[in-house]
Chain A
Amino acid sequence: MPAFAALRQFPSSDPTSEAIVAVTPRKTRLISDSDAAIGSPLRKSPRFCKEGTPHSSPTANIRKCLKTSLNLSGSPQKKQLSEDFVERQNWNPRDETQRRAVNEALHVSTAQTNVVCRENEQNRILDFCKKCIKEEKAGSLYVCGCPGTGKTLSMEKVKAMLADWANEECIQYPDVLPINCTSLANMNDIFSKILEQNHSGKRRSHSTSSLQQLQNLYSQQTPGMKMILVIADELDYLITRDRAVLHDLFMLTTLPFSKCILLGVANAIDLADRFIPKLRSLNGKHMVITFCAYSKDQIINILQERLRALPYTVFQPQALELCARKVAAASGDMRKALAVCRNAIEILIGDSMLSSLDGTEDQQKSAENVSMSNQVRIDHVAAALSKVYKSPVVDTIISLPQHQQIILCSVVKLFRGGKKKDTTLGELNKYYVDVCKSTSIPPVGILELSSMCRVLDDQGILKLGQSRDDKLRRVTLKVDGADIVFALQGVRFFRNCLQ
């Protein structure tokens, strides 16, 4: 539980700070501060600890403690203390170093020392590897999950943990070969890479392929051969029509004297079952570890973990929660959550720059505003989410030139009723001329109509087919008709036309 974790990390802080909570104008901000800040002073007093139960949420805890502490408040020193405390937590978006630190904390490429929410899966992989190394047996493991669920990250962590364990137990650490299958020019290169890693000293014979050499190697007892751990990322790039490469790769681990531990990583859940049916009969059920998409709580956890190292608060908790809910509902992809957070920070910075450009506030108000508006709020996160998830179709249709909008309007009218899904340019021309006649806009000729349709095809709104005769080219709609109706409803003419 994050609240209790915070307790362990902050063993001592000044005892006077526990009285902070009583100040009313700061109350909303203090409740919304991250657990790192609030956790410690509240937990100092044993009475508060008894009040909190392991199952209640942190914010409910804080509110309960707040209510009890309000009854004991009374000291005039509190306001001053709270200001000191507040100043520590205030982050200034205009400060270069702070901004850089926040961006770095939220960047996808920043390596994390402790990877939260994937301990279970990592332990399973680690146990499997330990077992294989101890028994000096080969094995294969398949790791699957949607993109952005922390597979590669966990692999790195497992490698590190394995190295530590091997050092502790004084067991020979196997050779590790991480391969990303997209970088292979030829699919059989994976075998030559494994061979190279295994026997960098020996000469390779050119008459037999690397696969055959490996198979020969693993069919005989060779004392003193080191184990090799192969981590194959993006395994589905190795899928061919006859599935030979994938099959052979997994079969390498089933040979009697094989020393190869294979960890395959891919997105498809049933890759092993679909493509390697024989293995199941030989091997029983080999291990498949699924990395599920992150849930809302997990995303909040991970984001808070990243922001924990910073001494100031950047996000309001409601903002983080909105971001986590939206991303978890859509895909559970952690990269998207980080991108949304970074976008929200940029929007906040943009707003604060604009407001500093206007800058005619008086001193007190500006101080108050600065402290209140420096955190990323729900509206920033909502704007960032809409930028990431909204499609640009509606905006583009609104800003199209008039004739192109008339063309789209006539297409929607043509396809209304749901029977027809495509039409020819000649038909479209007739409808278009009709729509133009109903207002007094002169219609353009068929040549210009065809070039405007080509422009719309380029943008991905229509799809224009090929034909010898211009009039017979087929036209289909690629965006939803409802989107077009929504985009054009601002203009009265189109509203009436599309009724």
Chain B
Amino acid sequence: MGVENPAEVAKFIIRSRIADPLFVYSYFSQLPDSNYSKLKYIISSSVTEACNNSVLLLGPRGCGKTAVLELVLEDLLKEHPDMISVVKLNGLLHSDNNCALKEIARQVCMEHQLQFSKMASFDENSKFLLSILRECGLAHKTIVFVLEEFDLFTEGKQRLLYSLLDAMQSVSSQAVVVGVSCRLDADQLLEKRVRSRFSHRKLLFLSSPGEDFQRLAEHILLLPMDSRLPNDFRASFNEKLLNILAGEEFKGVVDQLCYSDSTVSHLLRFLFCAVCHMDLSSGSLSIQNFKSALPSIQRQPKQEALKDCSVLQLYLLVCMKRLEVKEVELCNFNSIMKEYKSIPDSFQTCDNFARNVCLRAFEHLLQRGLVSFQDNRGQGQSTEFRPVKLLISWHELQQGLQSFPSCPVLLHKLMAREG
């Protein structure tokens, strides 16, 4: 086997890093005042000082709440082996009280190699839970309850939350309840009894792109010392990368990326795409890679559909738009044809196709999803009489026309006239 292309190795290393959330979020563990350190302090203080705690992690989806929690738990398990046991519940699966208790009993039994019976009743399960809490309190072992989708646990009578948080109030148990939710008002959904027992600690995961993202990108993309990579290749790769990341163009790309979604998972997808576009022959990432990754992340399906249209189909779409602007009541193929026929009257052009050609083009538009029937009635009628509606907006249509390679000027005029 010959020597592997170092660029391929580099690509492989970076892609495996991006796909590993623990590596990505370990960046956040290095920041001093981050949520990672706060969460770690809370859980570790209840491990070492044997006091109970409860905390809520809030933030939009994809901003890294569960990943940071996993990181904290992994680090704590390394630091204090055998002193922490973790029970994970999810609001989508276990919001029913009986289900949740059974799941807690099952996980505890699995961890401590006890016999678990599926036939155990609700009463038995709850007694088991209390005795487990007591035993672990005596043995100075902390149980961490992780409740994902916390807001879904607050539906109904909230018995599970009440019993868990009530157990926190007694001296004999040693446990931490960590709730993870994307709803900002998750603690307002709690009943007043349950809310009084909750300790009101909330950690907000706010994403702030910009320089933060640049440092995160450096953390992921800079190549480490690896035996498979020659040193000089590594040094030149890193140097070029640092130049790109510090440049203005990169900042512009990132700004555009973050207009609609600035969560960490979105940015990771972007980086993955950019690395996939890396040119193996040049052996390093270039700003072009990032720029070409942007449209594949921010896809515009309608624009892509418009690009494939024929000129006749564009005419039909523009006619439909004009009809909409004129606020014509009934818009079906016949009225579109009428509008289409009126164009050569007002403008001198020879683009005039027969009715059946237009009908075929119109059917293609229907199949493509740019146009659709208004409702499902009238299945028996032919395509020409059923009312239709446009599925793209004026703005998207105009953008599509502008990017169309050989768009006739007439179309632009038609759009501009009424639009």
Encoded as 1 (CB less than 8 Å from any B CB) or 0, chain A from 433 to 453 comes to 100000001111111100010
Least CB distance from A177 to B in Å reads 15
Please choose the segment from A31-39, A52-60, A104-112 that sits at the chain B interface, where 4 or more of its residues have CB less than 8 A away.
A104-112
Given the complex of chains A and B, what is the CA–CA distance between A322 and B53 in angstroms? Answer: 24
Least CB distance from B191 to A in Å reads 9
Tell whether, in the assembled complex, residue B393 and residue A445 are in contact, meaning their CB atoms are under 8 Å apart: yes
Which chain B residues lie closer than 8 Å to A234 at the CB level?
162, 193
Which chain A residues lie closer than 8 Å to B166 at the CB level?
180, 182
Which chain A residues lie closer than 8 Å to B195 at the CB level?
147
Given the complex of chains A and B, what is the CA–CA distance between A180 and B163 in angstroms? Answer: 10
Q: Tell me whether A343 and B201 are in contact in the complex, defined as CB-CB below 8 angstroms, given that A443-B395, A446-B393 are known contacts.
A: yes
Which chain B residues lie closer than 8 Å to A147 at the CB level?
192-193, 195-197
Please give me the residue from chain A that is nearest to B197 by CB atom: A335
Encoded as 1 (CB less than 8 Å from any B CB) or 0, chain A from 221 to 260 comes to 0000000000000100100000000000000000000000
Please give me the residue from chain A that is nearest to B124 by CB atom: A185
Given the complex of chains A and B, what is the CA–CA distance between A455 and B207 in angstroms? Answer: 14
Please give me the residue from chain B that is nearest to A405 by CB atom: B259
Least CB distance from A381 to B in Å reads 14
Tell whether, in the assembled complex, residue A399 and residue B206 are in contact, meaning their CB atoms are under 8 Å apart: yes
Tell whether, in the assembled complex, residue B206 and residue A103 are in contact, meaning their CB atoms are under 8 Å apart: no
Which chain A residues lie closer than 8 Å to B193 at the CB level?
147, 234, 267
Please give me the residue from chain B that is nearest to A353 by CB atom: B32
Q: How large is the interface on B (under 10, 10 to 19, 20 to 34, 35 or more residues)?
A: 35 or more
A388 in contact (CB, < 8 A): yes
Which chain B residues lie closer than 8 Å to A267 at the CB level?
192-193
320-367 of chain A: CB within 8 A of chain B:
331, 333, 335-336, 339, 342-343, 346, 354
Q: Tell me whether A393 and B395 are in contact in the complex, defined as CB-CB below 8 angstroms, given that A403-B260, A444-B260 are known contacts.
A: no
Tell whether, in the assembled complex, residue A107 and residue B51 are in contact, meaning their CB atoms are under 8 Å apart: yes
Least CB distance from B405 to A in Å reads 21
Please give me the residue from chain A that is nearest to B61 by CB atom: A458
Please give me the residue from chain B that is nearest to A443 by CB atom: B395
A125 in contact (CB, < 8 A): no
Tell whether, in the assembled complex, residue A100 and residue B49 are in contact, meaning their CB atoms are under 8 Å apart: yes
Which chain A residues lie closer than 8 Å to B58 at the CB level?
392
Tell whether, in the assembled complex, residue B121 and residue A399 are in contact, meaning their CB atoms are under 8 Å apart: no
Please choose the segment from B1-9, B19-27, B84-92, B168-176 that sits at the chain A interface, where 4 or more of its residues have CB less than 8 A away.
B168-176
Please give me the residue from chain B that is nearest to A108 by CB atom: B169
A123 in contact (CB, < 8 A): no
B202 in contact (CB, < 8 A): yes
Selected contact of B171 from candidates A109, A354, A396, CB within 8 Å: A109
Given the complex of chains A and B, what is the CA–CA distance between A109 and B50 in angstroms? Answer: 11
Selected contact of B302 from candidates A336, A393, A445, CB within 8 Å: A445
Selected contact of A387 from candidates B61, B185, B202, CB within 8 Å: B202
Q: Tell me whether A182 and B183 are in contact in the complex, defined as CB-CB below 8 angstroms, given that A403-B259, A459-B60 are known contacts.
A: no
Which chain B residues lie closer than 8 Å to A400 at the CB level?
262
Which chain A residues lie closer than 8 Å to B184 at the CB level?
391-393, 396, 459-461
Please give me the residue from chain B that is nearest to A444 by CB atom: B260
Given the complex of chains A and B, what is the CA–CA distance between A433 and B395 in angstroms? Answer: 9
Which chain B residues lie closer than 8 Å to A429 at the CB level?
393
B403 in contact (CB, < 8 A): no
A183 in contact (CB, < 8 A): yes
A283 in contact (CB, < 8 A): no
Which chain A residues lie closer than 8 Å to B235 at the CB level?
none
A212 in contact (CB, < 8 A): no
Which residue among A148, A185, A478 has the maximum number of chain B CB atoms within 10 Å of its CB? A185
218-274 of chain B: CB within 8 A of chain A:
258-262
A209 in contact (CB, < 8 A): no
B351 in contact (CB, < 8 A): no
A-B residue pairs in contact (CB < 8 Å), sample of 22: A99-B49, A100-B49, A111-B171, A146-B192, A147-B192, A180-B166, A182-B163, A234-B193, A335-B197, A339-B199, A339-B201, A387-B202, A388-B200, A392-B184, A395-B204, A399-B207, A399-B208, A401-B258, A401-B259, A441-B259, A455-B61, A460-B185
B interface residues with partner A (beta carbon < 8 Å): 32, 41, 45, 49, 51-52, 58, 60-61, 98, 121-123, 126, 157, 159, 162-163, 166, 168-171, 182-186, 192-193, 195-197, 199-202, 204, 206-208, 258-262, 300-302, 392-393, 395-396, 399
A interface residues with partner B (beta carbon < 8 Å): 99-100, 103-104, 107-111, 146-148, 180, 182-183, 185, 189, 234, 237, 267, 331, 333, 335-336, 339, 342-343, 346, 354, 387-388, 391-393, 395-396, 399-404, 429, 433, 441-448, 452, 455, 458-461, 478
Contacts A185-B98, A335-B196, A459-B60 known; list 16 others, CB within 8 Å. A99-B49, A100-B49, A234-B162, A333-B196, A392-B58, A393-B185, A395-B204, A396-B184, A396-B204, A399-B207, A399-B208, A399-B262, A445-B395, A448-B260, A458-B183, A460-B184
